[in-house]
Amino acid sequence: MWHVRAEIAPAILLVVDFGGWYRLDSKSSGGGGNSSSDLIQHTQVSLLKDVIIPYSHLLPRLHLSENKNRDTLLYFKGAKHRHRGGLVREKLWDLLVDKPGVIMEEGFPNATGREQSIKGMRSSEFCLNPAGDTPTSCRLFDAIQSLCIPVIVSDNIELPFEGMVDYSEFSVFVAVSDALKPNWLVSHLRSFSREQKDKFRRKMAEAQPIFQYENGHYGGIGPIPEDGAVNHIWRKVHQKLPLIKEAIVREKRRPPGVSIPRRCHCT
């Protein structure tokens, strides 16, 4: 995709994240992957033009009626070591790993770790969602499907369907600077009352279908749910069209020799 990024830039891109600004592979010039030719220009992918979509969740949906007692305060399962913005993860790990009521596990919810992840998320009040190599991951959507209140520690995160979904109704957003204060995060999470946590979980249950791509039919053949991810993506695309048209008109009326900051790579 890298060699055609200029050609596809005018399209409305469906992206799960805006975090991958640099090409990271061994063939990059100089090996560092941050030369000007490797940089994705901010106008080539932008909140004005493009649509952020949810990662596909890996864990099954837990309905509110199936929710049981949660004995763990905070749960995290994933890789300890990450790059760029994900360096905060290693610091959080060291701060939290020995705290009572906190479970920090290395691994992924794949074939071997899936059951462990299901058990961990469904038995925990809060699920930690720190930045990784990119600001977000499928872990957030696994937490939502598990009714585990997301604790989002990622200052630069952009989320799917904002304006349609109010994440603050079922998530806890924490600044990286606060999360890295010794004992601060655990104390903050313990301050939430049972009523507050129950309200978060009710709102999360209402939002669960929005992040589901499946239609419940064998092989995916059949009508798509009205309130599912696919229809929300199309609604978001529809919302973008007037903004894109405005940006195109704005660019066309620019007099020769006049510099006007480009809002997006829309043409």
Q: State the pLDDT at residue 48.
A: 85
CATH number at residue 83: 3.40.50.2000
Q: Is residue 135 part of a domain?
A: yes
Q: What is the full DSSP assignment across 174-219?
A: --HHHHTSTTHHHHHHHTS-HHHHHHHHHHHHHHGGGG----SSGG
Residue type, 194: R
Q: How many domains in the chain?
A: 1
Is 244 a member of any domain? no
Question: How much is the pLDDT for 128?
Answer: 97
Which domain, by its residues, includes 117? 64-208
Residue 107, by phi and psi: left (phi above 0), alpha (psi -120 to 50) or beta?
A: left
**Is 13 in contact with 50 (CB distance < 8 Å)?**
yes
Domain contains 178: yes
φ/ψ region of 84 (left if φ > 0, alpha if ψ in -120 to 50, else beta) reads left
| pLDDT score for 22 | 40
Residue 137 belongs to a domain: yes
Encode 208-236: b = buried (16+ Cβ within 10 Å), e = exposed.
bebbbeeeeeeeeeeebbeebbeebbeeb
Q: Residue 258: its pLDDT value, please?
A: 82
8 lies in a domain?
A: no
Return the pLDDT at 39. 47
Per-residue pLDDT 10s for the chain (267 aa) are 555 666 777 788 898 876 654 444 334 444 444 444 444 455 567 888 899 999 999 999 999 999 999 999 999 998 887 665 567 888 999 999 999 999 999 877 666 688 999 999 999 999 999 976 666 788 999 999 999 999 999 888 889 999 999 999 999 999 999 999 999 999 999 999 999 999 999 999 999 999 999 876 766 677 888 899 999 999 999 999 998 888 888 888 888 888 777 777 777
Examine residue 156 and state whether it is found in any structural domain, yes or no: yes
- Does 229 map to a domain? no
Task: Say what the pLDDT of residue 164 is.
Answer: 95
Distances, alpha carbon 149 to alpha carbons 13, 156, 196, in Å:
29, 19, 11
Please indicate, yes or no, if residue 91 is contained in any of the structural domains. yes
Q: How many CB atoms lie within 10 A of CB 259?
A: 6
Q: Residue 169: which of 137, 136, 202, 211 has the closest Cα?
A: 202
pLDDT given for residue 109 in this prediction: 66
- Say what the pTM is: 0.84
Cβ atoms of 245 and 10 closer than 8 Å: no
